[in-house]
């Protein structure tokens, strides 16, 4: 927003206030409205601020990250040694907002969102609790998941919600508690009342899923289920105490049965203790409970969207989330993007898009898409000669965090352009068919490589024998997270994407390379990692990618019509690393070059080997690729 525009809006506001009109009658316009100041909204605010866009973040509470500050959400139950204090996170987010000077408007509870025509394009109008309207060309919805998942059965009004149960464990002393659900919130609840409640049962239609087996970060961790063993111990002690169970004072005990048993008895007059199977021998729910608590998770709040602006429910995730495209735009709601945990339908139960450490990277990807679509700024791409591709890929597989955290969802795309390539980081894989439109980059017919991190498709016993593959020739059998390269002659189409094999993140490629899994997640070994990768790249590029010393380039240039690309891009253009005393010494110390006693060294012209002098070879390419400083593009040809 320009200074003049800001001043004009301020004047309008003063006029409105001064004229006795309620402030609620005015409309504010912004190019971007971010709804919700949780971690996702703030992350987007950071990118919008950095690129100097006109934006506002609207938040109903009086501080950022309110999700982590709600005592009734029991987040503080996670304050075990491995986890930071729940208060630390909103404090960190407040600092984030303050130090980056993000524009957040607190106390703005948006209750209605409608679609509107803004300069011929679909935009949105958001109305808050005071009647103030915010008109935005682009809406970024980062409202999280706040609607508790309900249960609906006869008597379900007696069930308490995870979001509203007392946080003081003492309240549960000597009570018999049934928890509906077997996810994180169910186990956290059980954990906090263990030792107080006389009995804790967990009930759900699906079995417990462990994160270390499913690789899904939202499933249970080992320390969560450790309470099962503690509960058994407590059970034994309770038996010793005898008859300790007490009904909740003033409340009737709660009896439960299963709906399928009820159906069998349909037509009969059933109530209270006459529930079917209550008297059946060994029926697991035959004892009454003092409390039944539902811990069934949360859904997206669709209710604030008018029919014109409401994204449909996702087909996965039991319809709890809005359906979004592969580039996180609401389906049927152009110019409205969904961010953060609400956008998890793209990778539900697959990757980390529902969690801070994952969606921070998808938010960054969405921002790059916004920059291209609305400001014609192409997806940032690094151009370099293909001779540098191998070390570049090795650096990415060992250092990149976006592709690692958002495995199978974000991947690096390498556009091959003959002797050069363009490297795009962390592109949403499912949007590959729209690569040209979303990135703004031209697609050549020389093919492309996609680098992703991937788990093996076959189930494995994570702690069992033979769980990992160490032989590079069997890299395709790797079970743990490892880098995989897909090579395509042309960009896959939407149809290819739809018809990809089950469980595959991408369609079947023209060539595929798995880098064998590594216990240390360091893919840097010459035989197991580097050499097979080089051979694969050479196969895709149809070029010898080895690095050569100047002497070899010289010989190959004399003996071959097509010397290796390394020599063509370096030595034959008089480029490479200039030899000097320090480099020679370093190469010798590292065992890269033989230590010829008495050999003359480059750097002082007089000491250049004779044959190089004759050919004008004043520049030496004597290092292996590991020694290249990638940040300085030393091999970039002169124009
Ligand atoms: C019990 C539990 C434990 C969890 N633990 C973790 C964990 O350890 N690590 C992790 O990464 N994730 C965890 N999560 C998931 C966590 O919710 C998200 O990772 C994170 O909070 C999502 O960030 P977000 O920005 O998408 O949404 P939120 O943090 O929910 O932020 C949304 C913001 O939007 C605001 N808002 C909503 N509606 C409106 C409206 N109509 N008008 C104005 N403002 C509005 C809210 O006030 C809120 O501040 C956990 C979730 C639960 C339920």
Low-confidence ranges of the chain (pLDDT < 70): 1-25, 66-84, 222-251, 260-281, 462, 576-579, 595-639
Q: 156-254+289-294: same fold as 21-146+301-371? A: yes
First to last CA, the chain: 40
Q: What is the C-alpha to C-alpha distance for residues 425 and 544, in angstroms, rounded to an integer?
A: 25
User: Which is the closest atom of ligand 1 to the Cα of 42?
Assistant: 25
Answer yes or no: is the C-beta of 530 below 6 A from any ligand 1 atom: no
Determine whether domain 156-254+289-294 maps to CATH 3.50.50.
yes
Radius of gyration for the chain, computed over Cα atoms and rounded to the nearest angstrom: 31
**Contacts with 589 (C-beta within 8 Å, 6 or more apart), sequence order:** none
Q: What is the pLDDT of residues 443-466, one digit of tens each?
A: 988 999 999 999 998 777 767 777
Give the pLDDT confidence score for residue 84 in this predicted structure: 66
Give the pLDDT confidence score for residue 183 in this predicted structure: 87
Token pair for 526: 């010459």
Answer yes or no: is the C-beta of 619 below 6 A from any ligand 1 atom: no
Give the pLDDT confidence score for residue 490 in this predicted structure: 96
16 three-class SS? helix
Q: Which long-range contacts (CB under 8 A, 24 or more apart) does 345-349 make?
A: 345/314, 345/315, 345/316, 345/317, 345/321, 346/409, 346/428, 346/430, 347/406, 347/408, 347/409, 348/314, 348/316, 348/317, 348/321, 349/214, 349/216, 349/218, 349/316, 349/317
Per-domain boundaries in the chain = 21-146+301-371, 156-254+289-294, 381-541, 550-632
Nearest CA to ligand 1 atom 21: 67
Q: What is the pLDDT of residues 561-582, one digit of tens each?
A: 889 999 998 888 877 665 677 7
Give the pLDDT confidence score for residue 276 in this predicted structure: 59
Using most ligand atoms within 8 A of CB, pick from 35, 36, 162 the residue to mutate for ligand 1.
36
Q: What is the pLDDT of residues 415-448, one digit of tens each?
A: 999 889 999 999 999 999 999 999 999 998 899 9
Residue found under tokens 């630390």: 88
21-146+301-371: CATH, from 3.10.20.30, 3.40.1800.10, 3.40.1650.10, 3.50.50.60: 3.50.50.60
Using most ligand atoms within 8 A of CB, pick from 44, 62, 89, 144 the residue to mutate for ligand 1.
144
Task: Determine contact, residues 547/539, Cβ cutoff 8 Å.
Answer: no
**Contacts with 583 (C-beta within 8 Å, 6 or more apart), sequence order:** 577, 622, 623
């Amino acid at each position: 927003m320009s200074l003049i525009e800001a001043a004009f809006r301020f004047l309008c506001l003063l006029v409105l206030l001064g004229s006795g009109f309620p402030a609620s009658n005015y409309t504010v316009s912004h190019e971007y409205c971010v709804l919700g100041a949780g971690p996702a909204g703030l992350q987007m605010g950071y990118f919008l601020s950095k690129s100097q866009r006109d934006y506002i973040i609207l938040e109903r509470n009086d501080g950022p990250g309110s999700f982590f500050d709600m005592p009734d959400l029991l987040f503080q139950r996670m304050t075990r040694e491995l986890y930071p204090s729940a208060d630390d996170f909103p404090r960190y987010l407040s600092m984030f907002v303050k130090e980056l000077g993000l524009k957040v408007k607190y106390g703005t509870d948006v209750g209605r969102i409608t679609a509107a025509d803004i300069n011929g394009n679909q935009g949105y109008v958001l109305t808050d609790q005071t009647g103030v309207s915010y008109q935005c060309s682009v809406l970024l919805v980062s409202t999280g998941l706040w609607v508790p998942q309900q249960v609906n059965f006869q008597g379900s009004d007696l069930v308490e919600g995870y979001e509203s149960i007392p946080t003081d464990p003492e309240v549960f002393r000597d009570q018999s508690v049934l928890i509906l659900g077997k996810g994180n919130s169910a186990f956290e609840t059980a954990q906090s009342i263990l030792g107080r409640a006389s009995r804790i049962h967990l009930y759900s239609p699906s079995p417990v899923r462990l994160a270390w087996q499913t690789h899904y970060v939202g499933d249970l961790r080992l320390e969560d289920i450790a309470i099962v063993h503690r509960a058994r111990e407590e059970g034994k002690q309770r038996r010793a105490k005898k008859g300790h169970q007490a009904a909740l004072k003033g409340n009737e005990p709660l009896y439960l049965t299963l709906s399928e048993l009820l159906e069998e008895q349909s037509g009969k007059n059933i109530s209270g203790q006459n529930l079917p199977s209550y008297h059946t021998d060994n029926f697991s729910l035959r004892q009454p409970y003092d409390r039944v608590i539902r811990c069934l998770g949360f859904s997206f709040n669709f209710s604030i969207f008018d029919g014109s602006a409401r994204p449909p429910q996702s087909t996965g995730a039991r319809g709890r989330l809005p359906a979004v495209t592969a580039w996180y735009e609401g389906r049927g709601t152009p110019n409205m993007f969904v961010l953060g945990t609400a956008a998890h339908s793209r990778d539900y139960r697959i990757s980390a898009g529902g969690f801070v450490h994952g969606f921070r990277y998808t938010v960054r990807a969405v921002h790059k898409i916004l920059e291209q679509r609305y400001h014609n700024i192409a997806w940032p791409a690094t151009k370099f000669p293909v001779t540098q591709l191998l070390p570049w890929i090795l650096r990415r597989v060992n250092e990149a965090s976006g592709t690692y955290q958002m495995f199978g969802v974000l991947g690096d795309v390498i556009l091959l352009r003959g002797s050069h390539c363009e490297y795009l980081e962390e592109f949403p894989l499912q949007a590959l068919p729209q690569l040209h439109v979303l990135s703004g980059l031209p697609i050549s017919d020389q093919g492309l490589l996609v680098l992703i991190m991937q788990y093996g498709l076959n189930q494995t016993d994570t702690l069992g024998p033979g769980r990992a593959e160490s032989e590079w020739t069997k890299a395709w059998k790797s079970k743990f997270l490892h880098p995989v390269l897909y090579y395509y002659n042309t960009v896959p189409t939407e149809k290819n994407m739809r018809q990809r094999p089950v469980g595959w993140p991408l369609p079947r490629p023209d060539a595929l390379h798995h880098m064998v899994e590594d216990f240390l997640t360091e893919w840097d070994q010459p035989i197991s990692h580097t050499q097979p990768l080089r051979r694969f790249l050479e196969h895709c590029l149809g070029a010898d990618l080895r690095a050569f010393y100047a002497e070899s380039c010289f010989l190959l240039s004399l003996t071959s019509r097509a010397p290796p690309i390394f020599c063509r891009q370096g030595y034959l253009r008089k480029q490479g690393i200039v030899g000097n005393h320090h480099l020679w010494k370093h190469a010798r110390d590292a065992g890269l070059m033989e230590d010829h006693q008495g050999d003359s060294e480059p750097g002082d012209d007089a000491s250049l080997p004779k044959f190089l002098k004759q050919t004008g070879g004043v520049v030496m390419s004597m290092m292996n690729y590991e020694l290249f400083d990638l940040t300085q593009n030393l091999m970039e040809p002169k124009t």
